[in-house]
Amino acid sequence: KNEVEQSPQNLTAQEGEFITINCSYSVGISALHWLQQHPGGGIVSLFMLSSGKKKHGRLIATINIQEKHSSLHITASHPRDSAVYICAVLSRMDSNYQLIWGAGTKLIIKP
């Protein structure tokens, strides 16, 4: 079993729909990252959070440390939100911190 699991793997929705992408992890973490990878390949960090909730524009990220679960929500989705969304957790291994990556969720928003 992977240490970071994302669901769904693929998601297609209509423009305007509320989108939820989930991330579950099985290791102790210091923080959790959500990133976006555009169809052209570029990777951009969206959020880094260790508790509660963060909001940026139409994007909301939440984390429940006790349940080892995070969600990324997109309100009023738009075709330009089509991308792969990646969850990664920062975990301490030996004397170093390393990111453990999920496989990503491919989101397609249809007009």
Side chain identity at 35, as an amino acid letter? Answer: L
Residue 30 in the binding site for other proteins (CB under 8 A): yes
Residue 49 in the binding site for other proteins (CB under 8 A): no
Side chain identity at 56, as an amino acid letter? Answer: H
Based on CB atoms, which residue is closest to other proteins, 77 or 102? 102
Task: Quickly tell me which residue has 């990777």 as its tokens.
Answer: 43
Residue 7 in the binding site for other proteins (CB under 8 A): no
Residue 106 in the binding site for other proteins (CB under 8 A): no
Selection from 48, 107, 43, 109 nearest residue 76 by Cα:
109
Please give the span between the terminal C-alpha atoms of the chain, in angstroms, as a whole number.
36
Residue 48 in the binding site for other proteins (CB under 8 A): yes
Query: What residues line the site for other proteins (CB under 8 A)?
Result: 4, 30-31, 33, 41-45, 48, 86, 88, 90, 96-99, 101-104
